[in-house]
Structure formats: structure tokens, C-alpha cells
Structure 1
Amino acid sequence: MDVSIIIVNYRSWKPLLNCLESLLSIDKTKIDFEVIIVDNFSNDREFDFFQNKFNHFTFIRNNANSGFANGCNLGAREAKGNYFLFLNPDTIISPETLNTLYTTYNNHSDIGILSCLQVDRKSRFFYQKNIFPTLVQIFGINRFFYRKINKKRIDTIFNSKEELFYPDWVTGAVIFISREWFKKVNGWNEDYWLYFEDVEICRKIAQKNGKIAVSRNTIILHEHGGSSRNDFETEHISKTEVIISKHVYINNNFNSSTKTLAHVLLIVFILIEKTFFSLLSLFLFFNLKLKTNRYILKNLCSYYINALKNQTWLSRRSVNYQKINL
């Protein structure tokens, strides 16, 4: 088996349908591949329908919603391919994309992870000039000003017209990696429930002298947010987990001189921001986006209390948190 395509799903059946139908258009005479869908306990009666409709694909029912990293690792354990393509359920692949990724990866022995250009339905390309988070860039507003101040330098790095360009990290929506490299970095880190696990796996590969590359020769349609923000509850949980995962990333990757400062600044900045927008939502009660902040603030207060109590930055939803609290 050449490639195992691994998709982690949680109640994203509508975009998943489009994704799986696009995979049916790939010519299997050019490349031998399998498709593995790991459902993170959607528990909404759709699993059996999809399993019957796409009976040539492998469906795995996870026993809990254990997060993206856990779902990816579960799919990889069942995979037969020499290469893995981790793909979001809200993506649509063109018939030639898989072969392009496979050929490009094999033609560049220095690549550890390969991705490709991504575009949404409005033909807007996703920002992929990604640099590893630092103390300066871990906060959204700081990151904005950092990019503005360093725009010329960043554009110089990524302005090549070559087939490939090399960011520090790529989004987990489209990641092509060999089984060998996957084993070298011990797969996805299950400290994370959702978000930043893609940054960390890229960092681990970079530390072992592997390159992170993006191919300009193929494009994938990506309906950003279609797999993580498909209802109000899922949205405020996923937005909370973005912040929690920042803490996990800081704890795992920042040095001792900046780690504590980064945690403190993130806590202060986020609590001030969420408190302000929560109060504002009481007056603009018709605005659902503002209302989300109240739930995020509640979730974060619970998380920070738990972090102090148990002396861990891990999300209570993450597999590794559950392991240490058995």
C-alpha cells in the first residue's frame, strides 16, 4: 500500500460527504491508497449510514471524543500505507493531488512533512507563511504587529517562485508524511486535544533536520472551520481549546526563562479580553459571537482552577491528562 489517507471526524458529516466523494475520483491505477475515517464518537446515528455508503473505505468508531491527535494516531495504527495523508473532513481533493504529493515527497529526500496550497470557496488562499510561536507571537495582537513590522523579511523568505516553499509549520488540515518520519517523532502528541498539535509535530521534525514544505503544484479546497465549529456548543469548546493548547505548547516548547512569563501574560490578556466581551454581550445579547465569550470565560476559569489544583496545563479532554488522572 502506497498511501493511507486518514480523516478524523466529529459531527462533520456534510463536509465529510463531499470530501469522501472527491476521494472516489482518484485514479487507483496510478497510486495504491486506502481511506481510513476515525469518528470521534459523534454518537448521532450517521456513522452506520456512511459506513454502508462508502463500504470500500475503513471506518473506525472511537470510544470517546478524544481529540484530533488521538484520532490521527488511532488511524495511523490501523494504516497499511508507507505514507500517511492526514486530511480534514472539510477538504475537497482534486484527482491529481494525491499523486502530486506522493511524487513530490519522494523526489525531495530532505522533506519531513509536505502540504499544499489551500483555498476556500471564495477563492481566497490560506495564509501559510507560518513561523514557530515565540513569546512575541503567541498573542494575536502581537502577532499582527510582528507581521506588519517584519513584512519585508517574511515576504522575502516566502516570495520564491519555486515549486516548493518552506514555512516553519503547516496546518494539520493537509499533512503528508512518511511512516518512517511519523515513527521518528512518535506520531501526534496527545497532550493536545485540539489545535497546536500540528505546530508541535512540525517542530519535532525540524529539530531532527527534516524540512516542512508546501507545494505550489496542487491546491485543496478547505472549508475552514467546517469540522470544528458546526454548532454553538462545539464552537465555544473549540475556541476555548485554542487557548488551552497555547498553554500546552508554551509548557512543552518554551525555555525556562520565558515559559512562566508567557503563561502569565496569556492568562492576563485572555481574561481581560473575555471579561470585556462577556460584559458587552449582556447589552448586545442578540450577537451570538459575543455571547460565545461568556461560555469561553466560564470554561477558562474552570481550566485555570484545575491547572492550579492538579499542577498541569493539559486539557481535561486530552488523552494524556486522562492517563495521569486514572
Structure 2
Amino acid sequence: MDLSVVILNYNVRYFLELCLHSVKAATASIDAEIIVVDNNSADDSCNMVKQLFPEVILIENKENLGFSKGNNQGVAIAKGDYVCILNPDTVVSEDVFFKLLEFSKTKENLGIVGCKLIDGSGMFLPESKRNIPVVKVALQKIRGNSANYYANHVQENEVAKVEILVGAFMFMKRTVYNQLKGFDEDYFMYGEDIDLSYKAIKAGFNNYYVGTTAMIHYKGESTLKDTNYAKRFYGAMQIFYKKHFKSNIVFDVFVWLGINLAYLFRKNPNKVKKVSKNMYAFSNMKAQFLSEKLNKKVLVINSISDINDQSTVVFDPSSMRYKEIVSNMIYLSKKKDISFRILMNNSNFIIGSDSSNNRGEVITF
């Protein structure tokens, strides 16, 4: 078997459904398996997987084991030569796995491979490629200065070696994952991807960013929404420095003080509120369906060139490939106040997000 896709899920039933549809399309011509590890979701996630995706291997945990342990569970039963760690709030292009499999076969000492991520508004997510967050760089980042945190020397459509990749999408040989002992389970949530990327570099592997294929990550880079999140995030950073950069007591005090001060003086991100005057769909049937369900006029268009500013565009994967949806989102993101939603065929919901600062949104009918 060529590939095992491992998806860790927790209470994002609708995003998981969309994600699984896109992964099925992307693995249609590949000898692959899909493994969903559910961390005791309270929603209908597990029933949905059993009913709509009976071929998916489902692990149902009785408690929330966290990101590291949950993903390690999935990889432990994987059979693929390669594994892909994938977030459930993502939509992958049909060519992403094929391209990365072909790319990986050409590289020696291959570590972890990532791809281009965009948020729900079509904007590039800079956390797709990052530098090692040495103390100075990390403290700059958590004070709001990201210039040295992201790998800005690599262009977003480029293919190049990078140091740190994002946990929403991490592709690698299963033997490499096991050699690195997977995600460090001292981390419950956040920081695990930095740790695994850094362990790969220390072990002599080369990590790569492949910007020639793209996918959607609705949540984008996690934001400081509440006290519990902030404590976990900065706690994860303290674990990382203790494991990899600890030198002496003065150094430890400096790191502890800097991280805790950054937590106290953190800034909450502004939520994006876009003005939408029109809603567009690409078929009469979808436009009529949405008009009835949303109680608003939905216009039919044949070309993205017909779309104006301050509009919501509803994509339909049954009539447009995921790769084309991603490309259209990137192209249209240059317009003012453009929002995107995806409506699955025979579904009772639409999904979208207006920025990486906002959690993805679901409207059910």
C-alpha cells in the first residue's frame, strides 16, 4: 500500500465529512487507506463516518487523548509506505497526494513534506512554511512580529527545503515517522508539529515545502480565542524549549518570563465581518435550492469573471473539481469582501470561513 491518510477528529462533524469527500477524490487512483481517529466527539462524527464512509477505518476513543497521542494511534495501525497527517477542517486538491508521492521518490534523506495552505477566504497561510522558533524569534512572534518566524525567503508557489511545517498537513515515509517516534505525547495540543519537524532536522532529514499544490485549511493558524487555548499554546512552547534548547537556569528563567509576559500582554485578533450583497452559484439547480433554503436570491453564473466585489460564491464539488475550487478561491481573493462557501451534493449544510482569524462556519438546513 502506498499511502495512509490519518485524520484526527474532535467535534467537527461537517468539516470532517467535506474533508473525507476530498480525500476520497484525491486517493481514487492511489493504493491508499483512510484512518479517522475520533477523540470522543460529542457530535455525530462517528455515526456519519460509519454511514457515509464505511470503507474508512475508524478508531473511537472514549476520551480526548490530545493531538499527539491520537495521531500516533492512527499511524500505529497504518499500512501505507507513506503517511499523511491531516486536519479534519481541510479540503485537499485531487493532485496533492499523487504529486507528493512522485516528489518524494526523487529525494534522499527525505523528512517531512508540506504543501501550500490557504484559508477559507483564499489567502495564503504563512504557517505553511516556518523557521525554527529559536527563543528570540519565538518571542518576537508572540509579541506580534512574525518577520523571522515564517520562512519568507521561500515564495508561496516555490518548492524548497524548509525547517518547520504545519501539523494540519504533514506527509512523510512511515518509517521516518516511526524512527522519530512520532509526535511527542508530552504535548497535548499545539507545538507538536514544531517538535516533530525539528526532530527530523536533528536526525539528518530534509524537510520540504511544495508550493505547487494547494489545499484549504479553514481554521488557519490557531488564534488566541480564550484563556485555556493561550495557556496550552504557551505551555507547549515551554515544553519545546525545555526539550531542545535548555542550557542553564538563567536561560530557563528568561524563556519562562518572556513566554508568560507574552501571554499576559497578548492581543486578541479582530474577527472579520464581510459585507456580501450578492450570492452566486454555478447551476440553476443549486441556485434554486439555496434560494429556498436560505430565503434569499441566489444568482447563477457561468464564469468567475462575472463575480463582483462584496459577494458570496458557493462552490459545488459535484460540478467542479476541488483543485479548481482552490484555484478559483486564490484568484478571487483579490476582490473586495469576497466570501466562499462549499455545498456538497445531497447534503444539508454549507461550509465556509471568511479569514484565518475566524473558525470555519457551518450553516445547516
TM-score relative to the length of structure 2: 0.67
Helix, strand or coil at the partner of 2:215: strand
Query: What corresponds to 1:296 in structure 2?
Result: none
Match among 150, 156, 172 for residue 177 of structure 1:
172
| Structure with the higher helix share, 1 or 2 | 1
**Unaligned segments of structure 2, at least 5 residues:** 272-365
1:244 aligned onto 2:235: yes
Separation in structure 1 between the aligned mates of residue 58 and residue 84 of structure 2, nearest angstrom: 16
Which structure is higher in strand share? Answer: 2
Q: Is the 8 A contact 1:250 1:263 kept in 2?
A: no
Match of 1:211 among 203, 206, 228: 206
Deviations along 1:42-100, one digit per CA (max 9) or x if unpaired, are: 13344223222110111111121111111100001111111100100011011111111
Deviations 1:220-251 (A, max 9, x none): 1110259x78xx8xx55333311111111121
Which residue is 2:119 aligned to? 120
Verify the 8 A CA contact 1:194 1:245 in the aligned structure 2: yes
- SS in structure 2 opposite 1:243? helix
How much has 1:267 moved relative to structure 2? 2.1
Confirm whether residue 131 of structure 1 aligns to residue 131 of structure 2: yes
Q: Is the 8 A contact 1:112 1:211 kept in 2?
A: yes
Q: Does 1:261 align with 2:254?
A: yes
Cα deviations by residue, 1:182-208 (Å, 9 ceiling, x for unpaired)? 121111100101111000101111011
Secondary structure of 2:211's match?
Answer: strand
Partners of 1:125 and 1:51 in 2: CA distance: 34
How far off its partner does 1:166 sit?
2.0
Measured at CA, do residues 14 and 109 of structure 1 come closer, stay the same or move farther in structure 2, by a change above 3 Å? same
**Greater RCO (Cα-Cα under 8 Å, separation 6 or more):** 1
User: For residues 115 and 187 of structure 1, what CA distance do their matches in structure 2 show?
Assistant: 16
SS in 2 for 1:75: helix
Alignment pair present for 1:53 and 2:52: yes
**Which secondary structure does the structure 2 equivalent of 1:117 belong to?**
strand
Q: 1:269 to 1:23 in 2, by over 3 A?
A: closer
Q: Is the 8 A contact 2:129 2:209 kept in 1?
A: no
Kindly tell me the number of residue pairs found equivalent between the two proteins.
267
| Residue of structure 2 equivalent to 1:319 | none
Contact kept? 2:124, 2:156, Cα under 8 Å: no
| Partners of 2:116 and 2:210 within 8 A in 1 | yes
- Contact 1:4–1:85 (CA under 8 A) maintained in structure 2: yes
Give the aligned partner of residue 263 of structure 2.
270
TM-aligned CA distance change 1:26 to 1:185, over 3 Å: same
Once the two structures are superposed, residues 238-295 of structure 1 have per-residue CA deviations (whole angstroms, 9 ceiling, x without a partner) of: 3331111111112111131323320122223423x26x99xxxxxxxxx99xxxxxxx
Q: How far apart in 2 are the matches of 1:96 and 1:140?
A: 36
Counterpart CA distance in 2 for 1:17 and 1:189 is 28
Is the contact between residue 136 and residue 143 of structure 1 (CA under 8 Å) also seen in structure 2? no
Partner AA of 1:252 in structure 2: K
Structure 1 residue identity aligned to 2:107: H
- Report the counterpart of residue 100 of structure 1 in structure 2: 99
Aligned mates of 2:243, 2:13 — CA distance in 1: 33
Is contact 2:3–2:31 with CA below 8 Å preserved after alignment? yes
1-structure distance, mates of 2:11, 2:135 = 35
CA separation in 2, counterparts of 1:262 and 1:198? 20
State whether residues 125 and 220 of structure 2, in contact with CA within 8 Å, keep that contact through their aligned partners in structure 1: no
State yes or no: 1:158 paired with 2:154: yes
In structure 1, C-alpha distance between the alignment counterparts of 2:169 and 2:245, rounded to whole Å: 26
Give the conservation status (yes or no) of the 8 Å contact 2:66–2:188: yes
Which residue is equivalent to 1:316? none
User: What is residue 168 of structure 1 aligned with on the other side?
Assistant: 163
| 1:86 to 2:85 alignment | yes
> CA distance change for structure 1 residues 241 and 2 in 2, over 3 Å: closer, same or farther?
same
Counterparts of 1:92 and 1:224, CA distance in 2: 11
Q: What does the per-residue CA deviation read over 1:6-43, in whole Å, with 9 as the maximum and x for residues that have no partner?
A: 00000011111110111221353x32000000001113
Equivalent pair of 2:156/2:211 in contact (CA under 8 Å): no
Sort the Cα spacing of 1:141 and 1:70 in 2 relative to 1 into closer, same or farther, 3 A.
closer
Q: Say which SS state the counterpart of residue 37 (structure 2) adopts.
A: strand
